[in-house]
Amino acid sequence: MIRATSVFVSEPGDRSVLQVRDHDLPDPAEGEVQVEVAAAGVNFIDVYKRQGVYPVQTPFVLGEEGAGTVTALGAGVSGLSVGDRVAWCQSSGSESTVVNKPARLLVPVPDGVDLEIAAAAMLQGLTAHYLVTSTYAVGPGTVALVHAAAGGVGQLLVQMVTARGGVVVATAGSDEKLEIAKALGAQRLINYSEVDDLAGAVRDAAGRGVDVAYDGVGRSTFDASLASLRPRGMMVLFGGASGQVPPFDIQRLNSGGSLFLTRPTLANYVAEREEYEWRAGQVLGAVADGSLKIEVGGRYPLAEAPAAYEALEGRRTTGKLILVPTA
């Protein structure tokens, strides 16, 4: 048993329900590994869980991803040693100084990749990876709409679409954010806080309807995303940063031109260890060889977790926010 410090959600609610406090952490159980956390990633799913949009029994520790150094092994764990550098996602309770994680969720961090960058790359990186490889297979000439293109997932989508020869129509809420997307390869830029007809602006920018719309903004962009698609285009609603999309009339897929609609989630694209390893290997490998850039847009001590979420929810961030054990 050791002491750990973690970010707890005491009950569903606003940021005032966050509590950073010490607690006992038992030794790792069978199949588990104890990890000293170097950094944990801040994600929108933490907001949904805290608010109760995704119901979770309280109290619980926030944080779906992280990276750190193995400090102890539970019974039955093989292939890992004390001192190994590891990363994970799809595992709650990561906003802590020390965690016990199932060994099957840990992946090796390549030499040369900083642990804080690895933590920042996992959840959003694997998300962008499945979105461009499996939800819609982006290839040369694919025209993709990417909303909130300077955000965490957005920056990675821009890079992964362009790396596959696709063309990105990027949106963001300010010209400064659009400059970030442009520097990462986005060819067409739209400041959606300044246009009345977003779908028209997307079609003008693309020269036609887009093949795929990657929409993690949700409520405020969904209708325009759908109206931006070419016939038989793919609407990928993968989040609701602006709020959840209300119930939907399926006939709109018909009138829009035989459209496809999916609402994917990472869990279904990393459920098998082999697929998880493949995606993590590709993402961390691209970080290691410099072909995928991770912008850490904010680095907060665990004790300042509420400030990190205030910035994320307030649209004041670019790239990825991480929490670290100390300042």
Residues at the contact surface with ligand NDP, assessed by CB under 6 A: 43-45, 123-124, 127, 148, 150-154, 172-173, 177, 216-217, 220, 238-242, 264-266, 312-313, 315, 317
* Nearest CB to ligand NDP, comparing residues 36 and 304: 304
Q: In the complex, what is the shortest distance from the CB of residue 207 to ligand NDP, in angstroms, rounded to a whole number?
A: 23
Element (H, E) at 232: strand 229-237
Which residue shows structure tokens 């390893």? 277
Q: In the complex, what is the shortest distance from the CB of residue 123 to ligand NDP, in angstroms, rounded to a whole number?
A: 6
* Nearest CB to ligand NDP, comparing residues 11 and 176: 176
Contact indicator for 134, 71 with CB cutoff of 8 Å: no
* Nearest CB to ligand NDP, comparing residues 152 and 209: 152
Cα dihedral 216/212/123/182 (nearest 10): -80
Strands (E), 136-220: 143-146, 167-172, 188-191, 210-215
Three-state SS for 6? strand
* Nearest CB to ligand NDP, comparing residues 33 and 121: 121
Q: In the complex, what is the shortest distance from the CB of residue 125 to ligand NDP, in angstroms, rounded to a whole number?
A: 10
Q: In the complex, what is the shortest distance from the CB of residue 315 to ligand NDP, in angstroms, rounded to a whole number?
A: 4
Give me the amino acid identity at 91. S
* Nearest CB to ligand NDP, comparing residues 126 and 206: 126
The total of other beta-carbon atoms located within 10 Å of residue 232's CB is: 12
CA distances from 122 to 139, 151, 160, 277, 299 (A): 23, 15, 14, 11, 16
Q: In the complex, what is the shortest distance from the CB of residue 222 to ligand NDP, in angstroms, rounded to a whole number?
A: 12
